[in-house]
Amino acid sequence: MEKKPLWINAAPLGAALVIWIALTGFEPEQRTVGTIFALTVGLWITETVPQAVTALISSALLVLLGGLKEKDVFAAYGDPTIPLFIGSFILAKSMEISGLGNRFALIILSRKGFTKSPALLLLALGGISCAISLFISNTATTAILLPIGLSMLGALGNDHKGSTYAIAVMLMLTWGSSVAVGVPVGTPPNLIGMDMIEQSTGTRITFLQWMTFGMPITIAMLFACWGVLRMLYGKQAPDTAPATETARVSLAALGALTLPQRNTLIAFAVALALWILPDFMGVALGKDHEVATWAVKAIPPSVAALVATSLLFVLPNSDPETRMTWQKATTIDWGIILLFAGGIALGQAMFQTGLAKELGTMAAQASGANSIWTITALCTAAAIILSELASNTAAATTLVPVSIGLAQGAEVSPIAPALGVALGASLGFMLPVSTAPNAIVYSSGLVPPKEMMKAGVLLDIVGFLVTVAGLYLFLPLAGLN
């Protein structure tokens, strides 16, 4: 790990001390949890220790210092969202090692309609990135698509520094993956928001409900990315006809659909069907019908993910290179899972001690935010800003409990503010260090930091407006108003 200056390493302890003093007069448990919260957030931002380790430290401190009982803290590590994470990550790993994501991208790019103009090619690349990232991690998506994007630029003679079209293509690849918030499993902050909303309000957001507001926001943000990049970098666009031929040659070299790719397709189809089935039953038969009620109880998202994942290990596959094995499955990002579990435990401590509501009431009084949409706007903006400095998972884990407490303090529904945080946490566009996908495309050497920041500032503003407007317009349609 990179050695950091002493003041950065000491900053989390300083923040914890400040909060300990500031919370004088609060209940002892609230003061303890608040101090641990400040220390944890400080460590997440500075990354003095790995973020997953920070989550484990915070869980241990909650028990050691009496912030929460042991069984309550470690119940978070058995939260139903944990197997959903594991199943989704293994499905994504299968798409990666089987080459299915790469094939999907080349199939789209080999169609002439998508390469008729530089603008359409740019939109196609962003759409592919977004579509893949709905179901596999943003990082894996960008890693899959970067070589494809570079080969496209090479065919167009634009794979060099100073090419404005290369900047647009690289940023479209990373931002297309970041805006893929249309389904719950698209990115960890979505699941964090869902889980904490259910814990604090008892409202369970279904797969279709999430898609009702998530997909319009995703589509709007995809076109926003496209519009911003065209406006800034569309003046020196090349002839894009060679891109189709490059994609066709690469696709032909892959040959027919392989057995591992077929197995992955089957597993994804089963997962998607089971995720949607309970909602479909409710619509088709009525929510009170016994079959619909059974489906909701028997096929929660976590079970659907595990059933589909199991197929990857039992469907026939004789190719040792692309067959899913447990050894390969263990290479998923366990750090994100531990970070999520530790964050859930910390959130629970804030809710159970009443600290979240106390801080929310104080924040509501200080800011004057007392309506649901004022609070939603405030929380969404905070999440976008924090996501530029910390990982999207850490940003969501930090701010979702605060947003819920703020809403409860103002005596309004916390659903919209919490969702604003969950969605806003994925909108880190400005810096190479904001997200792993940003860092990946920055490593190509084609995107100067000042260009990423210039375009990212515009997109942060657009993302804020689209997120708040999308929630305002579509939450009622999802039955979550």
Considering the domain boundaries, does residue 480 fall inside one?
Answer: no
Considering the domain boundaries, does residue 322 fall inside one?
Answer: yes
Q: What are the angstrom distances between the C-alpha of 291 and each of 204, 205, 287, 301?
A: 19, 19, 9, 17
Query: Which of 30, 48, 69 marks a domain boundary?
Result: 69
Q: Which residues contact 112 (CB under 8 A, 6 or more apart)?
A: 244
Query: Which of 51, 69, 87 marks a domain boundary?
Result: 69
Considering the domain boundaries, does residue 481 fall inside one?
Answer: no
pLDDT of residue 102: 79
pLDDT of residue 361: 76
This prediction's pTM: 0.79
pLDDT of residue 36: 94
Q: Are residues 238 and 276 in the same domain?
A: yes
pLDDT of residue 158: 64
Total domains in the chain come to: 2
Is 158 in contact with 365 (CB distance < 8 Å)?
A: no
Considering the domain boundaries, does residue 57 fall inside one?
Answer: yes
CA distance 162 to 177: 24
Considering the domain boundaries, does residue 479 fall inside one?
Answer: no
pLDDT of residue 56: 94
| Residue 195, both tokens | 């889980």
pLDDT of residue 431: 78
Q: Are residues 47 and 88 in the same domain?
A: no
Q: Are residues 27 and 137 in the same domain?
A: no
pLDDT of residue 285: 79
Q: Are residues 12 and 158 in the same domain?
A: no
Q: Are residues 59 and 133 in the same domain?
A: no
Considering the domain boundaries, does residue 238 fall inside one?
Answer: yes
Q: Are residues 43 and 151 in the same domain?
A: no
Q: Are residues 255 and 332 in the same domain?
A: yes
pLDDT of residue 449: 84
CA of residue 132 relative to chain centroid, distance: 13
Q: What does each of the 481 residues of the chain score in pLDDT, given as a tens digit?
A: 556 777 777 888 998 999 999 999 899 999 999 999 899 888 887 888 888 899 899 999 999 998 889 999 999 898 888 888 888 888 888 888 888 877 887 887 788 777 778 888 889 889 999 998 888 778 778 877 887 888 778 777 766 677 888 899 999 999 999 999 999 988 889 999 999 999 889 898 988 999 999 999 999 999 999 999 999 987 766 666 777 788 888 889 988 888 889 999 999 889 888 888 887 887 777 778 888 889 888 888 889 889 999 999 999 877 777 778 889 989 888 888 888 888 888 888 888 888 887 887 787 777 777 789 999 999 999 999 888 877 788 889 889 998 998 898 888 999 999 999 999 999 888 877 677 788 788 878 888 888 988 999 999 999 999 999 999 999 999 998 7
Considering the domain boundaries, does residue 449 fall inside one?
Answer: yes
**Domain extent at residue 20:** 1-69
Is 128 in contact with 103 (CB distance < 8 Å)?
A: no
pLDDT of residue 2: 58
Q: Are residues 37 and 95 in the same domain?
A: no
Considering the domain boundaries, does residue 192 fall inside one?
Answer: yes
Q: Are residues 113 and 28 in the same domain?
A: no
Q: Are residues 323 and 423 in the same domain?
A: yes
Enumerate long-range contacts of 309-316, CB under 8 Å, 24 or more apart: 309/86, 309/87, 309/90, 309/91, 309/267, 309/271, 311/263, 311/266, 311/267, 311/270, 312/90, 312/91, 312/94, 312/263, 312/264, 312/267, 315/263, 315/266, 315/267, 316/259, 316/263
Query: Which of 69, 92, 110 marks a domain boundary?
Result: 69
Q: Are residues 318 and 179 in the same domain?
A: yes
Q: Are residues 34 and 172 in the same domain?
A: no
Q: How many CB atoms lie within 10 A of CB 193?
A: 29
